[in-house]
């Protein structure tokens, strides 16, 4: 299993609105993709920003490529993300899942 990890930050004042938006777009869309095995959305608020960590779990590298395109390290964004995020970080990070409750 592969974990795909993305980070984004909004001004703290937009944190709740972005949470709602991200739940309706990214969380819903990723869960529906073939090969997706789950999504975790984490938030940390402090120093004027709301930081989001979006972790999606995938059954294989092939499933990630089918979703993300051949350039799997490139972050995927929705058009409205620009209205919320401080920066559109260009990259995501991938990790092999070695230990989890179901492994």
Domain boundaries, the chain: 2-96
- Collapse the DSSP code of 23 into the 3-class scheme (helix H, G, I; strand E, B; otherwise coil) and give the result: helix
Identify the bridge partners of residue 36 per DSSP, sorted by sequence position: 58
What pTM does this model have? 0.93
**What is the pLDDT, as a whole number, of residue 102?**
76
66 Cβ neighbours under 8 A, 6+ residues apart: 33, 34, 35
In the predicted structure, residue 15 carries a pLDDT above the cut 90: yes
101 versus 9: which is more confidently predicted? 9
Please give the Cα distance from 53 to 13 (Å, whole number): 17
**What is the pLDDT, as a whole number, of residue 69?**
84
- pLDDT tens string 58-94: 999 999 999 888 899 999 999 999 999 999 999 999 9
In the predicted structure, residue 41 carries a pLDDT above the cut 90: yes
CATH of 2-96, one of 3.40.50.300, 3.10.580.10, 3.30.70.100, 3.60.20.10: 3.30.70.100
């Amino acid at each position: 299993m592969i974990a795909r990890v993305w980070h984004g930050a909004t001004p703290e004042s937009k944190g709740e609105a972005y949470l709602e938006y991200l739940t309706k777009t990214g969380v819903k869309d990723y869960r529906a993709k073939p090969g997706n095995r789950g999504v975790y959305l984490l938030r940390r608020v402090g120093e004027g920003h709301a930081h989001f960590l979006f972790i999606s779990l995938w059954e294989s590298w092939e499933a990630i490529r089918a979703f993300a395109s051949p350039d799997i390290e490139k972050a995927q964004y929705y058009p409205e993300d620009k209205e919320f995020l401080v920066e559109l970080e260009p990259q995501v990070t991938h990790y092999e899942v070695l230990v989890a409750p179901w492994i």
